[in-house]
Structure 1
Amino acid sequence: MTFKPQHQAPTDAAERRAIKPVVVYPNGTLPEPDFATLAEFKASMKKVNEVIVPPRDARTFHVPKGYFFRIVSVDGPQVGDLNLWNANDLKERFFSGKTRALHRTHLTTGDRLWSNMPYLRSMALISEDTLDWYGFDEDGGSVHDVIGTRCDPFTNRLLSGNDYHHCCHSNLCRAFRDETGMSMQEADHYVHDVLNVFMCTGFTKDTHQYFMKASPVRPGDYLEMFAEIDLLGNLSTCPGGDCSTGHSSDEAACYPLKVEIYETDPALQDKWDWPAPSAYQHP
């Protein structure tokens, strides 16, 4: 028999549970993006490059500061796992946990993707989301989450005893290796928790477990971001396809994703308040 202690509730248990929650970072804590200037940048957009990410694979891409990039559904419902780094300093990378705390569990237009400490600055601003209509469904699910990590071969081996080499972590590592010349073992330390693009997720209401369900994404949908620093991006097409049944296998129908890169009018650069690394210094 498994030993699992269960303690008796104290006499004031109901009183303790009734204490009202406090939002840690209330709306309005962060400065609002300059949407008027952002609209000027968007009006000047010109597509200069695109990258196709094959099914069950990953590709890297570069986005200069002041450019836009779009992750686009092309052939069928497919989710993607996104990593971002400072293209000039790979120690600075996307920090999904702090992004979740500063914004919410699922991101949409107006939310920012923040970098790790000690930098802690905005890397990219979500400028358009064609799935913003979805909101939260009756199961508590929504899209573009920063609560899941990424499917990975280590957890897969832990749970199943089997090795699978096209988990998103593996895909991202291979693409990062090809970009940087590092070994797969070195890449393990740079690939990080992701923005789950197009993925529909939440927590069950009874057991509070992380769940996924069929993504509502359809060909032509996209998530667009404005680069606030020079970015190296890395996108994996999840082996779970639309994540309606499972992941980390070859069973699901999978489709490519497209990354489109857009330049903007350089004359607008002086109108944007570009984020600097945190000025905090240890005493």
Structure 2
Amino acid sequence: MEFLSPATWEEALAAKSERPDAVPIMGGTDVMVEINFDRRRPPALIDLTRVPGLREWRADGDGVRLGAGVPYTGIVDALGGAAPALAAAARSVASPQIRNRGSVGGNLGGASPAGDAHPPLLATDAVVELASVGGVRRVPAREFYLGPRRTARRDDELIAAVLLPAPAGPQRFAKVGTRNAMVIAVVSFALALDARSRTVGTGIGSAGPTPLRAPGAEEFAAAEFDWEGGAPLPESAVHRFGELVAAAARPIDDVRGSAGYRRHALAVLARRALARAAADYREGGARCA
């Protein structure tokens, strides 16, 4: 196995261009597990830890440009207000040691449907910035996931950053696991209310071959929600929202949970998220728990 260690972003892009079969690595929380268990044996690794800028974030217009290598700990510490759903998801990732190493870029690169970062990126309509020696392009998160562990990233591209829109209303994230910590989600869900466009965003994790949205639930909630004052939604509307979210999922039975349980849990998470986000809206907040 060849090991490449570029010192600049330009060198990293050149290495990926010359070796499109090389696997980028930074935190190593997914890649090294697969290698150690002999589930994967890439011909080459591109170590990005020396590349400046990947571990930085900055304001980008009204939103945030999050470097692909910013660890989850950094997101929790610095972006609770600028990206509340993503910060809540980052807080739920594994152990402190993993949160110090893992990143959103790594989640996107691996594209596991159970990745905790995916639902908030979908719900908030984030954008993935991809780069190659040929230039930079930006792909909406809602168009990034193509199939099981397949994404819109081309073989010669690296994930440079994620562009996070400024919150325009409350955001929520929650997941269900077999225990409270150090666990892969059985199912997860993110919700974002946008008071400016009067739209609702959703993101579903670990309940399909890719991270998913629930467009029908989004349209229903946007039509039912009281955007003027945030009055409590009727219980029937909250229940229907949960049904529509569960219907959008495409779960399977596996060792972590059955398809039926996943749908049930997802409906519960969606109902709670909508009710709590509505309460946040009435109070004028944009933060999530």
Give me the TM-score of the superposition, normalised by structure 1. Answer: 0.31
Report the structure, 1 or 2, having the larger strand content: 1
User: Larger radius of gyration, structure 1 or 2?
Assistant: 1
Give me the TM-score of the superposition, normalised by structure 2. Answer: 0.30
Report the structure, 1 or 2, having the larger helix content: 2
Greater relative CO (CA pairs within 8 A, separation 6+): 1
